[in-house]
Amino acid sequence: MGLKWIDSRDLAIELSELHPDVDPVTIRFTDLREWVLALDDFDDDPNHCSERVLEAIQMCWIEEAD
């Protein structure tokens, strides 16, 4: 079973492992969206993404980074 947009924490963990040198505070949502879509485990409709969804992923990533 693949990751969905609602799996904010799991997506954040995957992204933090793939992009360890990125400060999640400074990430642009356009980049964040592309990186999520590029994840091997990601399996959801690209059109179901909103700014709120990306914000939730970013917040989880910031928490993971701390």
For 5-53, what is each residue's pLDDT tens digit? Answer: 999 999 999 999 999 999 999 999 999 999 999 999 999 999 999 999 9
pTM, full prediction: 0.94
Q: Is residue 13 part of a domain?
A: yes
Orientation of helix 29-38 relative to helix 8-18, angle to 10°? 90
Q: Is residue 43 part of a domain?
A: yes
pLDDT score, position 48: 94
Q: Is residue 1 part of a domain?
A: no
29: domain CATH number is 1.10.10.600
Please state the domain count of the chain. 1
Residue/partner pairs of 29-36 with CB below 8 Å, 24 or more apart: 29/54, 29/55, 29/58, 32/57, 32/58, 36/5, 36/11
Contact 9, 60 (CB under 8 A): yes
Q: Is residue 2 part of a domain?
A: no
Q: Give the number of other CB atoms < 10 A from CB of residue 10.
A: 16
Structural domain span for residue 34: 8-65
